[in-house]
């Protein structure tokens, strides 16, 4: 299907291809997205998707890692990867005249990564060190405790990096099986944006990827999770001087009409949330209700919200840093007071208009360059489709004060949340 300058194709092996011509600069950004993340893991193998991502940079017989680093740097390009709840993605942004490096590389490591035992052992140490570093961060410890309490069966229960006990026991064969199971063309999205001609690019893609066979037996079943079913509380005691509060409400999946309304409610309460982890720019949250009530009221030092676009229901989270003069219970009470005001007093059209304007601005910042355009081409397909991206602003513009009130009543209730307190224990022998 051809739609303006954005084209959508599916190869015979099931590879989804999204191409967007942008001729403003001689640059091409290439992203390969795999439908695999911590959502596809189970206890005993948590963190395996992230570890496989690391192994993809260890090179293949055709492309040793040192060669790729040198070649991409030499032409002024960048490359990286990310693993999250629902996906793993790899990208290269290169001068247009050398873009074929990205196609050759991604097609090769889709099937030919080696997972050599000594590299696996070295990377085990790297990832365990990363995990141990995270354990020195109060917000990581608090977030992990809240996440574990919020889900019973769903793999969203576990942090992307995985449990330390699993990282110590996962084997080379475990990693390789995970790689071979999920790194299939019919489980992948190739998204490219930049200075190219679509028919010619499609032929190049077919040459690079067309002969890789797909796997029709890809596992897709993910255990569902019941509602939170009543407020839960967790408390974490750790080093530091600061008290933190995390309030996580079960939120709708991204491909749910409620998601767009909750986006506006988030903008109203805490300021808009960027959905693009690769984005840039931002807007102030100083007009938001929680900032005015808690930060300016010196109950909290900071406040912000986080709403993630996910395949399954996840979180809408409020993060607050408590003022030294206030307890976490007082911070929670102040938040509940502001939420009650949303529920009890009508949200004005002027507030909704401002919240929509802020959310639109942040969305514009997150899609302003060629790499970001390529990001959205693939990212939106993970949990919905590209129409979700193209109609995002239109959906926000349709939100009314009544919609916001109804969504607040549906989601921002104690029965739908996990509350976490991080309490500093200055005695390092805690």
Q: pLDDT tens digits for the chain (430 residues)?
A: 444 589 999 999 999 999 999 999 999 999 999 999 999 999 999 999 999 999 999 989 999 888 888 889 999 999 999 999 999 999 999 999 999 999 999 999 999 999 999 999 999 999 999 999 999 999 999 999 999 999 999 999 999 999 999 999 999 999 999 999 999 999 999 999 999 999 999 999 999 999 999 988 876 678 889 999 999 999 999 989 999 999 999 999 999 999 999 999 998 999 877 777 655 555 567 888 999 999 999 999 999 999 999 999 999 999 999 999 999 999 999 999 999 999 887 788 888 888 888 878 877 777 778 999 999 999 999 999 999 999 998 999 999 999 999 999 999 999 999 999 999 986 554 4
Does residue 413 lie within any of the structural domains? Answer: yes
Three-class secondary structure of residue 345 per DSSP: coil
In this structure, the answer to whether residues 203 and 274 fall within a common structural domain is no
- Are the C-beta atoms of 236 and 142 separated by less than 8 Å? yes
Number of domains in the chain: 2
In this structure, the answer to whether residues 190 and 252 fall within a common structural domain is no
**Structural domain ending residue among the three candidates 177, 209, 241:** 209
User: Which tokens belong to 34?
Assistant: 């795999």
In this structure, the answer to whether residues 149 and 262 fall within a common structural domain is no
Does residue 155 lie within any of the structural domains? Answer: yes
Three-class secondary structure of residue 411 per DSSP: helix
Strand order, beta sheet including 2-3:
2-3, 6-10, 16-21, 188-194, 27-34, 88-95, 78-83
- Whole-angstrom distance, CA of residue 228 vs CA of residue 234: 14
Closest listed residue to residue 110, CA positions, set 41, 204, 188, 177: 188
- Are the C-beta atoms of 55 and 115 separated by less than 8 Å? yes
- Are the C-beta atoms of 279 and 366 separated by less than 8 Å? yes
Does residue 384 lie within any of the structural domains? Answer: yes
- Whole-angstrom distance, CA of residue 341 vs CA of residue 344: 5
* CATH code where residue 390 lies: 3.30.830.10
Does residue 430 lie within any of the structural domains? Answer: no
Domain that holds residue 401: 232-424
Per-residue model confidence (pLDDT) at position 34 = 98
Q: 43: burial class by Cβ within 10 Å (0-12, 13-18, 19+)?
A: exposed
User: Which tokens belong to 416?
Assistant: 């739908």
In this structure, the answer to whether residues 204 and 241 fall within a common structural domain is no
Closest listed residue to residue 55, CA positions, set 125, 116, 131: 116
In this structure, the answer to whether residues 325 and 194 fall within a common structural domain is no
Does residue 225 lie within any of the structural domains? Answer: no
In this structure, the answer to whether residues 323 and 282 fall within a common structural domain is yes
In this structure, the answer to whether residues 197 and 242 fall within a common structural domain is no
Does residue 270 lie within any of the structural domains? Answer: yes
In this structure, the answer to whether residues 131 and 79 fall within a common structural domain is yes
In this structure, the answer to whether residues 158 and 263 fall within a common structural domain is no
Q: Supply angle C-alpha 98, 103, 107, rounded to 5.
A: 150
User: Which tokens belong to 77?
Assistant: 């390009």
- Whole-angstrom distance, CA of residue 389 vs CA of residue 374: 12
Three-class secondary structure of residue 4 per DSSP: coil
Does residue 216 lie within any of the structural domains? Answer: no
Neighbours of 160 (CB within 10 A): 18
- Are the C-beta atoms of 60 and 108 separated by less than 8 Å? yes
Per-residue model confidence (pLDDT) at position 71 = 86
In this structure, the answer to whether residues 186 and 303 fall within a common structural domain is no
In this structure, the answer to whether residues 204 and 260 fall within a common structural domain is no
In this structure, the answer to whether residues 30 and 158 fall within a common structural domain is yes
CA end-to-end span of the chain: 61
The CA-atom distances, in angstroms, between 281 and each of 213, 276, 364, 365 are 41, 11, 9, 5
pTM for the full predicted model: 0.94
Query: What is the sign, positive or negative, of the torsion defined by CA atoms of 108, 110, 111, 115?
Result: positive
Does residue 221 lie within any of the structural domains? Answer: no
- Whole-angstrom distance, CA of residue 75 vs CA of residue 221: 43
């Amino acid at each position: 299907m051809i739609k303006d300058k954005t084209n959508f194709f599916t190869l015979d092996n099931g590879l989804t291809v999204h191409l967007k011509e942008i001729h403003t600069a001689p640059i091409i950004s290439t992203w390969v997205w795999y439908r695999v993340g911590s959502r596809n893991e189970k206890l005993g193998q948590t963190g395996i998707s992230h570890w496989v991502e690391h192994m993809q940079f260890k090179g293949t017989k055709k492309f040793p890692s040192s060669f790729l680093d040198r070649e991409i740097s030499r032409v002024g390009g960048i490359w990286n990867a990310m693993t999250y709840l629902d996906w793993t993605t790899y990208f290269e942004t290169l001068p247009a005249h050398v873009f074929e490096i990205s196609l050759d590389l991604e097609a090769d490591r889709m099937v030919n990564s080696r997972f050599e035992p000594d590299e696996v052992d070295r990377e085990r140490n790297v990832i365990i060190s990363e995990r141990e570093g995270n354990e020195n961060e109060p917000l990581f410890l608090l977030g992990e405790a809240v996440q574990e309490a919020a889900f019973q069966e769903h793999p969203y229960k576990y942090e992307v990096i995985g449990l330390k006990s699993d990282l110590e026991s996962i084997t080379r064969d475990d990693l390789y099986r995970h790689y071979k199971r999920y790194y299939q063309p019919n489980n992948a999205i190739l998204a490219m944006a930049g200075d190219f001609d679509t028919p010619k690019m499609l032929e190049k893609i077919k040459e690079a990827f067309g002969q890789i066979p797909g796997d029709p037996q890809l596992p897709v079943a993910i255990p569902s999770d019941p509602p939170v079913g009543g407020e839960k509380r967790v408390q974490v005691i750790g080093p530091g001087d600061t008290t933190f509060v995390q309030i996580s409400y079960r939120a709708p999946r991204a491909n749910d009409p409620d998601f767009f309304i909750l986006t506006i409610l988030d903008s109203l309460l805490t300021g808009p949330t960027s959905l693009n982890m690769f984005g840039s720019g931002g807007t102030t949250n100083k007009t938001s209700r929680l900032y005015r009530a808690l930060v300016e009221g010196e109950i909290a030092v900071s406040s912000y919200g986080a709403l993630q676009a996910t395949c399954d229901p996840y979180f809408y989270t409020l993060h607050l840093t408590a003022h030294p003069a206030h307890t976490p219970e007082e911070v929670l009470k102040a938040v509940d007071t502001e939420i009650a005001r949303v529920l009890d007093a009508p949200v004005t059209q002027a507030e909704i208009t401002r919240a929509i304007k802020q959310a639109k601005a942040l969305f514009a910042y997150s899609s302003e360059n060629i790499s970001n355009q390529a990001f959205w081409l693939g990212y939106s397909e993970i949990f919905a489709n590209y129409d979700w991206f193209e109609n995002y602003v239109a959906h926000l513009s349709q939100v009314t004060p009544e919609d916001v009130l109804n969504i607040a009543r549906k989601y921002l209730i104690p029965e739908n949340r996990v509350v976490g307190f991080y309490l500093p224990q200055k005695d390092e022998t805690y």
